[in-house]
Amino acid sequence: MPILTRIGVMGERDSRFPPHRTLDEAVAHSASRLTLTVELVWIPTPRLSDPAAALAGCAGVWAAPGTLASVAGALSGIRFAREQGIPFFGTCGGFQHAVLEFARNVLGFSDAAHEAYDPTAPRLILTSLACSIKGQAMAVRVQRGSRSYAAYGREAVTEEYYCSHGINPQYRGLLEEHGLRTAARDEDGEPRILEIDAHPFYVATLFVPQTRSTPGSPHPLITAFLAAAAAPGILDGRARHPS
């Protein structure tokens, strides 16, 4: 089988945490469907203070859910993937950190904060959800014409969550205006998938798609992410997106 140069997973792996254990398994499911050999490398977030070194050779970057040793490191890794055009996938906490990185470095809000880390900060980009959706499976409606719709092939899907924070409604419009587009919403209209169109592959989901992947039915978003990472030109810079 052809070799796909490594996928870097940014986070502190905990085999007891289902979204981590199933992440490894889900990548294997999609790699098998695509007949790819994937080298999956978990990268502790403190190493991402130098993202170019930590992510060297990575054809794709996944921002994982879970508690992080270095939020700053994770944000550096996300920024590097976004600016360098490296296929990026963020799930659960990875979605939240992708929003935080975008708010700080694209919207220019250096004081952008996450309520879980700094609840009294004046500019909270991510806040507690009105109703926690942790541990729930919920309906999601995917927007036609989005990259995610192309992967799923349908509008109505059901996904599982492990989080209790989302985008502060006050900043949704600004995020959209500057290119972080909502590609799917829940039944209440809350953003559940974000994409950047002007990027080889940039998708962030508030849910954890890896928990619903099986050998016989690999998750379509994970399959699409690996396919983007395997595309010609990703590592040699031809597919890079100018920052």
pLDDT at 96: 96
Tally of domains within the chain? 1
Strand extents, DSSP E, the chain: 3-10, 37-43, 60-63, 88-91, 113-114, 124-128, 137-142, 156-160, 165-167, 181-186, 191-195, 202-205
Supply the pLDDT for residue 130: 57
Instruction: Count CB neighbours of 46 within 10 A.
Output: 14
Has residue 10 been placed in a domain?
A: yes
Q: Taking the chain, what is the end-to-end CA distance rounded to the nearest angstrom?
A: 34
Residue 44 lies in a domain: yes
In a domain? residue 31: yes
For residue 27, the domain's CATH number is 3.40.50.880
pTM above 0.85, yes or no: yes
The rounded Cα 91 to chain-centroid distance in angstroms is 4
Domain of 191 in residue numbering reads as: 3-229
Residue 243 placed within a domain: no
What's the rounded Cα separation, in Å, for the pair 1 and 237?
24
Neighbour count for residue 107 (Cβ, 10 Å): 17
Within a domain: residue 235?
Answer: no
Angle between helices 93-105 and 71-84 (to 10 degrees): 70
In contact, 59 and 75? CB cutoff 8 Å: no
- pLDDT number for residue 16: 87
The confidence score (pLDDT) of residue 132 equals 58
Mean pLDDT by 10 residues, the chain (243 residues): 75 91 94 93 97 96 94 98 97 96 98 95 89 74 97 95 88 96 93 96 96 95 96 59 40
Short-list 205, 112, 124, 111, CA closest to 170: 124
* Residue 238 falls inside a structural domain: no
Q: Is residue 239 part of a domain?
A: no
Domain contains 236: no
Give the phi and the psi of residue 43 in degrees, each rounded to 5: -115, 115
**Residue 45, CB-side half-sphere exposure with 13 Å CA sphere:** 21
